[in-house]
A and B are shown apart, each in its own frame.
Chain A
């Protein structure tokens, strides 16, 4: 068993590893992260997770629901630390996994991965408490500076292979799309049972895609017959995401920046720095979507609010089908907005141990098309005619499988508490 595996085992038991191991780990992680671009490419299939916030036991629950790490590829969209009582263990575990399985787990930076924020919201105190000095905090903060700012998921399947498990409520499935439909959204509970399922609105020109497509006229032949589950935009009227189908999925902690109109511009940032108070890097980590037109001031005091028009323009311009972000608590665990052009994923159930929310992770399947470069038909004539250039115009949003889960059972986690100070003079 390598040192790394030992560390992983120890951290999985929620026990911190020695300071020198943390240092080694952070140095290794640094070397790895330097090689990553500001926007990391990730191939589907991948499971996308939102904020963790030091809720270690819920992170373990996440791995239980989503599958163990090397088996399932993960993408964590930042905010690993602060608020919860186990920021250190949570972050170090993720970092260990990153170093151990670099290709199977991607970590990007959240607004809490910053010196200033962690001093206020708990991570600094936690490190002081657990190690008696700020050294470990410093090592971790240095790693924060190296974390990528975003990720781009490519090759995500446009529809899901239906899970052949029972449904949660067990009632008749009249409202569920039949298996022959393309499933766009599927919502599962933590036991893997289907809570609801939505088929994609089909386009009527599936037989002659060579014609210039016109999304605005695409009728929806089969709208889902039931309104969307809480958090989905998949109401009967939204027709799923017919807007700009099939591109890549951008994952970023906060949202868009008025300074970034193309993904390439993210590349020109020197990200190795403390999260600035403003500017593109700040915005990517701090912004929020909102029901407004254009850009707005953010009540957070950093970043911006951005509306549906901004998202749609950005997605179109960058050939994205979806922006996936975290950063905001959503009681249902996930929330699709703006005709499913952006989704918030939140992975800290019962946030702060008292918010009562559920958490979600988002699974994007693999489209079997070799990351989008050589699409091939897979029996579904609607999917592709094999001509990349034209298919691009028709690409649909990725099939999205949300697994919703609740906080880890109390018993499995022990009593959440901060570690008490050891000796004291005063």
Chain B
């Protein structure tokens, strides 16, 4: 009684002079009109039995006017519908069969309960009557039950609309409404007539003939309203053969688009769109197919704009169930399947093709007609030598598309049904169909073939590998016979290499990747498939981080997959990557003339290789190193197509991030950073994607402190690096080198601090409690073992030592502490160091290696609000010295004294015990800190908030860089090189004797007023000066390592 509730409640009638006789209860009659209770008058109410069978009484409520006893205010038959409600002791509210809400307001509660009792009694009798009958049909046919609607006629449409709207107000009447809509009205003694909806639909044509746009719009509104009642049975009725045309006909005239008319009827009437490759004999299934199609059409086209979420999901679930039914039927129909897959076997020149049982094993399929197709397919291959006739080809094409559709639908259905579908398909020869499709001359069929394959792999990669594996065994057993008909992978490889359709090509590349993805065992994740290799690799990488998880063909990969991958590297990899290897013959000059097809192929190959190098670290490494693919890919860096160069750059970025000594060694040996550096130099003045990609690569090397590469870079290209001053990055690399040369060996490669930024891909971090997706995994154990003896002597200084260290932690592999970004630690002078408050900065602070005496300190500090720590620093002179050294934040166990010039003399004595408080600076050097980092990060939100409040403002002696140089608004147009100081200046600064600076205390003025968001702006005039000063300060801070030199010139505090 929703309307009754939001409408005003009827008022009680005025007090009568005297109580009426018991039989005659004084009452006011109300009718709901336009959401308002309309008073139909006051009178006396009685319940009357007007005869009828005792068990089917015609019981009525009658109200006779008190003024004129001849006038009947109300006479209504009590139905067994439960739409009567008693409210507030004196009110009875119900909905008439015509949908009108009525109310009786009694003067006295007695009278009300009397009538209420009567109603109940009658209803009980009525219900007892309905009980034994078969409820459904009775309900529908029961004229009392059904809502009485105006006859659907053109003139009465507004009444119909009103009645329907009124009836949809309450759940009960809505149900009744739906029943009366879909019920086939039978006039006595005749066939069931059309339902109400069908009769409405029939009006469309009449209205069209009458050119009554108004009626058409009204019809459309009515139908829309009905559909949005969101009732499954109604929607099913709507899409039935009988009703659909009328319904969509009405929906063609949308009043929202008065000047438009859709042509849904024509569209749906066109049955030619329904294709059958093999006729489906079951009429019910065919009906379901049509119904599904109509539902889809309704959902996507007719109702797309007006669908609300509930109706949308009702439609979707209907579609889903129909599809499940259809697919289940099809896969269970052996005859159908036999005929379907028989299409591919038709004229059987190789007798083996048909003589074998159709439901035979995969081996059988291997030898089906395709076995005769020896020659490698060529781009313009038109094969199918056996089935010469065009109709035959078309039929096969359709069959492929049909199977593709089945597989697409199968994606949505329950895993079990899907499994049995694929199983049935496979046993009937799905793989040979795929092979056929992949070699088809039409790109659309090839696409369909890869779709099917990918659906299959997604469902269960093991299944496909199993098949390939068997084919392989078969081949080994009888090599002469199988010929070019190798496993599916080989087919894919051949086709990838010759594919001309770039879209298909990339899909095939994806299929190869998934097929060879050792981690795709679950294979359920569609998203991952559709994402590019990047995501796939990252996902896999993340999985690989689990403590027990191995990547590559490790112990956890099913042995079959392992063998499969091994076989790939033994037999197929050479073929797949041959075009890359052949680049050797083209030389650098040959790179200038790459065609679109070639670049596309190389792009895919390099991307596949990127994927493999992460997934099959060990096997791919041997292959890559043996084939010297690094050099080949480096050649691509010279080609004019920038996207090609980007792809090649990505390769090196991936390799470097593996932090694998052997890869690095080869990069060094072949001087492969030369072309990358050349790109930096070439693109230096331009801020473009190529340049950013290069910076990202070098940034990674610097941030991770990949010593091997830093040594190489600085030794080989020192001058070139130092000439690249538009970002501080390269200078920092050289500085890092200088540190290495100074005899300092960081105990952790991560000890680099820097003030630049890059995404960290190496390890996952936890943000917001989410597990990071990260690019790489650590070496797996067997791989490690393999390389162990070689690495042993170098391990100390090698970056990979870091990874191992992490693994040693209790929760090693999950250690989240490595930050996305290494934040500058030296920026305490910076006025607005937002970063100081960033969570990642905290993360960055954490993952360092440590002297053990600091563990406790770190633990303490982790809890200390940053502000406290800083205050201590700035106010406690006794710790100042330490603080400064600590701020060197090289995470070096041994802070070096003085300027870099003196560095060499600083041999590593044991680090003196440090006051606890100043560990704040160094906590990041602790392994424990690393662990703490996780929790610290997680709870960092609160502390962050507080930290941002004490953003520190520079005093006038601020050592910040000039604003102008810093300003992004200038950077695009100015010569970028002016932004960072000339190298000489930096070097001079380095060499300046270290002033006994108390940075925290003297240079930084914390302005308590700053937290309100207003800032004192640094005078520009001081900028240049301040800049130099900044450098001096940075150098002076004790380590000379990396104090500064960032383009932004910030010297940032380590632990803000």
Contacts and interface: CB of A to CB of B under 8 A. Distances in A.
- State whether these chains interact: yes
A337 to B, nearest CB: 13
A373 B773 contact: no
Contacts of B274: 423-425
Nearest to A33: B689
A392 B692 CA distance: 29
B689 A294 contact: no
Given A116-B530, A116-B531, A310-B834, A277 B770 contact: yes
A420 B964 contact: no
B361 to A, nearest CB: 27
Contact of A259 (B254, B695, B820): B820
Nearest to A308: B1013
A272 B759 contact: no
Interface stretch (A160-168, A278-286, A325-333): A278-286
Interface stretch (A9-17, A63-71, A211-219, A225-233): A211-219
A296 interface: yes
Which secondary structure characterizes the binding site on chain B? helix
Nearest to B956: A212
Interface stretch (A93-101, A187-195, A314-322): A314-322
A35 B949 contact: no
Interface in A374-389: 389
Contacts of B78: none
A280 to B, nearest CB: 6
A318 B696 contact: no
A411 interface: yes
B924 to A, nearest CB: 17
A369 B112 CA distance: 84
A272 B967 contact: no
A420 B692 contact: no
B301 A319 contact: no
Nearest to A146: B689
B798 to A, nearest CB: 25
Contact of B526 (A34, A119, A279, A295): A119
Contact of A316 (B275, B323, B832): B832
A35 B1014 contact: no
Contacts of A19: 503
A263 interface: yes
Nearest to A411: B259
A416 interface: yes
A258 to B, nearest CB: 3
Given A23-B502, A389-B1021, A268 B941 contact: no
Interface stretch (B289-297, B385-393, B414-422): B289-297
A293 interface: yes
A247 B447 CA distance: 51
Contact of B304 (A38, A85, A279): A85
B768 interface: yes
B296 A319 contact: no
A309 B326 contact: no
A268 B758 contact: yes
A263 B687 CA distance: 12
Given A33-B689, A119-B526, A422 B273 contact: yes
A313 B305 CA distance: 44
Interface in B605-623: none
B941 A296 contact: yes
Given A261-B834, A269-B758, A318-B968, A417 B301 contact: yes
Given A265-B757, A277-B773, A415-B262, A135 B534 contact: no
B972 A420 contact: no
Nearest to A115: B531
Contacts of A115: 530-532, 535
Interface in B261-302: 262, 267, 273-277, 289, 292-293, 296-297, 300-302
Contact of A281 (B308, B759, B830, B946): B759
Given A135-B447, A248-B969, A274 B300 contact: no
Contact of B690 (A34, A214, A307, A416): A34
B968 A320 contact: yes
A350 B586 CA distance: 57
Contact of A37 (B256, B688, B839, B1021): B688
Nearest to B695: A268
B971 interface: yes
Contacts of B948: 293-295, 307, 309-310, 313
Contacts of B538: 276
A417 B692 contact: no
A86 to B, nearest CB: 11
B589 to A, nearest CB: 22
A426 B405 contact: yes
A35 B527 contact: no
A416 B773 contact: no
B1004 to A, nearest CB: 16
Interface in B472-514: 501-504, 506-507
A280 B822 CA distance: 12
A402 interface: no
Contacts of B945: 292-295, 307
Contacts of B699: 268
B274 to A, nearest CB: 6
B821 interface: yes
Interface string A34-68: 11111101000000000000000000000000000
Interface string A136-157: 1011010000100000101000
B967 A319 contact: yes
A30 to B, nearest CB: 6
Contacts of A152: 968-969, 972
A261 B402 CA distance: 54
A19 B502 CA distance: 11
Contact of A116 (B305, B527, B820, B970): B527
B968 A372 contact: no
B310 to A, nearest CB: 13
Interface string B50-61: 000000000000
B692 A271 contact: yes
Contacts of B409: 426
A421 interface: yes
A262 B531 contact: no
Interface in B946-993: 946-949, 951, 963-964, 966-973
Given A258-B841, A301-B770, A417 B300 contact: yes
Given A152-B972, A294-B947, A414 B757 contact: no
Residue in B304, B326, B398, B833 whose Cβ sees the most chain A Cβ within 10 Å:
B304
Nearest to A153: B969
Nearest to B693: A270
A418 B695 CA distance: 43
Contacts of A426: 289, 292, 323, 326-327, 402, 405-406, 409
A172 interface: no
Interface of B: 254, 256-260, 262, 267, 273-277, 289, 292-293, 296-297, 300-302, 304-305, 308, 323, 326-327, 398, 401-402, 405-406, 409, 444, 447, 501-504, 506-507, 526-527, 530-532, 534-535, 538, 596, 642-643, 646, 649-650, 653, 686-693, 695-697, 699, 727, 729, 756-760, 765, 767-768, 770, 772-773, 820-821, 823, 830-835, 837-841, 941, 944-949, 951, 963-964, 966-973, 1009, 1011-1017, 1019-1021, 1047-1048, 1050
Top 9 nearest A-B pairs by Cβ distance?
A135-B503, A258-B838, A37-B687, A270-B696, A265-B757, A294-B945, A41-B972, A248-B969, A263-B968
19 contacts: A37-B686, A39-B968, A119-B530, A134-B530, A214-B1016, A258-B834, A265-B756, A270-B697, A280-B759, A293-B945, A295-B839, A308-B1013, A314-B832, A314-B834, A372-B969, A373-B970, A373-B973, A420-B267, A425-B401
Interface of A: 19, 23, 27, 30-31, 33-39, 41, 85, 115-116, 119-120, 124, 129, 132-136, 138-139, 141, 146, 152, 154, 212-216, 243-244, 247-248, 250, 258-265, 267-274, 276-281, 292-298, 301, 307-310, 312-314, 316-320, 339, 353-354, 371-373, 389-390, 392-393, 410-411, 414-426
